[in-house]
Amino acid sequence: MRSNQETSEKSIGIFDSGVGGLTVVKEIMKVLPHESIIYFGDTARVPYGTKSKETITRFAIQDATFLMEKNVKAIVVACNSVSSNSLDNLKSSFDVPIIGVIKPGVDNACLKTINRKIGVIGTAATIESNAYKKRIRKICPDAIVYSKSCPLFVPLAEEGWIEKESTFLIVRDYLQELLDKDIDTLVLGCTHYPILKHVIQEVVGKGVFLVDSAFYTALALKELLEEMNLSRKSTMNVESLFYLSDIPRKFSDIGERFLGKKIKNISVVDVTQTKK
Ligand code: DGL
């Protein structure tokens, strides 16, 4: 894609299976405050993390097609389940730079680990794809990877059960087997997990470094935009538009918890009819 002044003024498209990707939007807004954003959350069809690769890819193509119709200059696949199952397919289907959350998370996990024992947690679709494991093997072949899907973390984050004793117990139940393997680094491979970061840190202890892929993806996006000369030049008229396929119950509370501020400019759209 040619980069010119007009292209760099366009928005960044970000999509996720639902509200979770707002944790990625939050980091992008911090790292790139002058970029405009168009977010699509497929709240009508969430979760993706329990679905097959074929279904996740079909949904992801529709989600990205919707963003392309909005004329975005780049796409961030905020969803780990999509990034791990469908990124290559998306990259070969669309003519804008597309980044996912796996590579930024892995690159930083490999930089942080000292004992080369890395834990990865995510949805079943993410863990079963082995995308994290494969990427870690490529970047730090001597590392040993211990993976675990933690499906209950998604509803806990959405319910806002962050300070509760029961959440602490559930988190410990899931993570004990990784701790028994002596991991020193843990990749939070799901959009929802940064919401539970404090309780996860409390359970794993200070000796385990938590890799928040949302933060590292924002840094990777900044680098990509600079490299491709796509960073927005103006600092005025920054716009954030939010599209959802459904307004879920309690959305304003959940959305605010994930984004860290109230969400304005929400529209409901049906992306199932989008044709690539
Ligand atoms: N956004 C998903 C992910 O990061 C979590 C929710 C879902 O299962 O769709 O994998």
What are the residue ranges spanned by the domains of the chain?
5-100+216-273, 102-213
Task: Provide the pLDDT confidence category of residue 264 given band limits of 50, 70 and 90.
Answer: confident
CA distance 245 to 243: 7
Q: Which of 39, 43, 48 to mutate to test the pocket of ligand 1 (most atoms within 8 A of CB)?
A: 48
Residue 78 CA to its chain's centroid (Å) = 3
Task: Provide the pLDDT confidence category of residue 116 given band limits of 50, 70 and 90.
Answer: very high
Do residues 122 and 80 make contact, with C-beta atoms less than 8 angstroms apart? yes
Residue 84 CA to its chain's centroid (Å) = 11
What global pTM score does this model have? 0.96
Tokens of 9: 């003024």
Kindly give the residue spans of alpha helices, DSSP state H, lying in the chain.
Answer: 5-8, 22-31, 53-69, 80-93, 102-112, 124-129, 131-139, 153-159, 165-179, 197-204, 213-227, 251-259
Q: How many CA atoms lie within 13 A of 89 on its CB side?
A: 19
pLDDT of res. 18 = 95
Residue 3 pLDDT > 70: no
SS3 174: helix
- Ligand 1 pocket: which residues have CB below 6 Å? 16-18, 20, 46-49, 79-81, 122-123, 126, 154, 190-192
Give the chain's mean pLDDT.
95
Question: What is the fold, at CATH topology level, of the domain defined by 102-213?
Answer: Rossmann fold (3.40.50)
Kindly give the residue spans of alpha helices, DSSP state H, lying in 32-181.
Answer: 53-69, 80-93, 102-112, 124-129, 131-139, 153-159, 165-179
Residue 5 pLDDT > 90: no
pLDDT, average across residues 71-100 = 98
pLDDT of res. 265 = 84
Same fold, 5-100+216-273 and 102-213: yes
CA distance 130 to 61: 21
Is residue 79 among the annotated active site residues? yes
CATH code at 5-100+216-273: 3.40.50.1860
Task: Provide the pLDDT confidence category of residue 17 given band limits of 50, 70 and 90.
Answer: very high
